[in-house]
Amino acid sequence: MNHHGVNQTEDSLSLQQAMGRCCCTREATPSASHGSEERHVCGSKVDFVFPDVPFPSPRIFAATGEEALRLLVHRHHEYLLKSPIHYLFPPDKEALEKLVRRAADFVVEMCGGPRYYTSTRGEPRMRSRHFPTTIDERAREVWLICYRDALKEAGFPLPILEEFWNWIEPFSIRMVNRRTTWDPPRRVPFSSIQDAFAL
């Protein structure tokens, strides 16, 4: 039995170890009936380390204002609803509007605006709040592409664009709760989206 609860032969264990995909080892342990027996031991393994998330400074709210940030979040969700991950969002119009409003409350507050989110929902704890929704690496990348397009359509102020992106890009990695690859989530640095804004 491996650390995923699946039966594993010696050959498959050796193969996984050779490929660097398993942290299991074999060790001999004393046995009252057989003298000693071999067992597989799976030690702890660090899959990847979350990058730091530099939260935006209040200058973003000062440059945009509340209305522009809410419009940005609204446009972001418009893109998401037309994307390959549209199924992650509620089909009910009222439920969707509530979700978008809460997302906008969060963005407004994190960017230096009034404490709309924490005053009604408490500590953000966004990673744990998203656990009921399956978010894999591909869904995260689609989410970021939609944000890039929403930022462009909204005419987000260029002087603060990099700071905003440098927040949501690593933040999005923390929302991934279903892994489909052994590789860490792909980084999407600001330099990779600059062309979309003619920078």
Q: Which two tokens stand for residue 84?
A: 């390959």
Considering the domain delimited by 59-197, tell me its CATH architecture. Orthogonal Bundle (1.10)
Domain boundaries, the chain: 10-42, 59-197
pLDDT at 19: 37
Give the model's confidence band at 13: pLDDT under 50 very low, under 70 low, under 90 confident, else very high.
very low
Identify which has the larger pLDDT, 173 or 9: 173
pTM higher than 0.85, yes or no? no
Q: Check whether 110 has a pLDDT greater than 50.
A: yes
The pLDDT tens digits for 23-65 are 445 555 555 555 555 555 555 556 678 899 999 999 999 999 9
Residue 105 near residue 58 (C-beta atoms within 8 A): no
The pLDDT tens digits for 18-29 are 334 444 455 555
Residue 117 near residue 66 (C-beta atoms within 8 A): no
Residue matched to tokens 């089909």: 91
Q: Check whether 190 has a pLDDT greater than 80.
A: yes
Q: Check whether 183 has a pLDDT greater than 70.
A: yes
Distance CA 194, CA 199 (A): 5
> What Cα–Cα distance (Å) separates residue 21 from each residue in 4, 8, 40, 47, 180?
12, 13, 15, 10, 13
Distance CA 147, CA 88 (A): 16
